[in-house]
Amino acid sequence: MPKVAYSEEDRERIKTDLLTVGLELMAKQGIQHTTVEQVYKKVGISRTFFYSFFATKEDLIVETLYLQQPKIIKYVQTLMANPALSWRDAVKQFLHACCYGEKNGIAVLTIEEQQLLFKRLSKESYQVFRQKQLRLFGEILENFGIRADTARIHLFTNLSLTAMVVRRAIPNALPLFVPEAADETVDFQLNAIVDALEKLKTDPTP
């Protein structure tokens, strides 16, 4: 017979499993192509039980993105502490891993996914997301050894997401771009971002 009652510990474990599986699938096959059914079936629960944890797929997506934030920070710290990597190499390797998130277990929103997700988020959820995003990119900058004031965080966020989004958008969402030069375009963008970050790192302005 199916289990009727779940303890709080059971529910916490199942919710963690749902988020972990959701992140794994979204990073590998994209958020748009990951269905609620794929997630709850892999965890081994029913559709009805799934919705007792997350009211919508968007709620699952947002919490999944929050789940990966500490993992991203830990990855940055590992790279920066690697004596075999120069500062530039560590920074570029991190950005490259994010641009090719599907190969590195990192979920990155495409243009279409951003549009769909944020149309369905409440104003409050959107504000929470932006606050967590600001904190994430600020922590990344600090781990790069760069003073993270609001203006620098905003610039770094836009520069980083531009490279990630463009890489994912060629050629489907950006059909006039040349797909044969996609990787070279990413490499050029990342070198330019690292150059800009290096200047910020040495900028003594308080």
In-domain check, residue 10:
no
In-domain check, residue 161:
yes
- Angle, CA of 90, 91 and 97, to the nearest 5°: 90
In-domain check, residue 34:
no
Q: Which amino acid is at 135?
A: R
User: Mean pLDDT in the chain?
Assistant: 93
In-domain check, residue 33:
no
In-domain check, residue 190:
yes
> Which pLDDT score, from 0 to 100, does residue 1 have?
37
In-domain check, residue 181:
yes
Q: Which amino acid is at 104?
A: N
| Domain assignment of residue 97, given as a range | 57-202
> Which pLDDT score, from 0 to 100, does residue 158 have?
97
Q: How many CB atoms within 10 Å of residue 8?
A: 7
Number of domains composing the chain: 1
Q: What is the pTM of this model?
A: 0.90
Mean pLDDT for the stretch of residues 28-42 = 93
Distance separating alpha carbons of residues 75 and 79, to the nearest angstrom: 6
Q: What CATH number did the domain enclosing 197 receive? A: 1.10.357
% of the chain exceeding 90 in pLDDT: 82
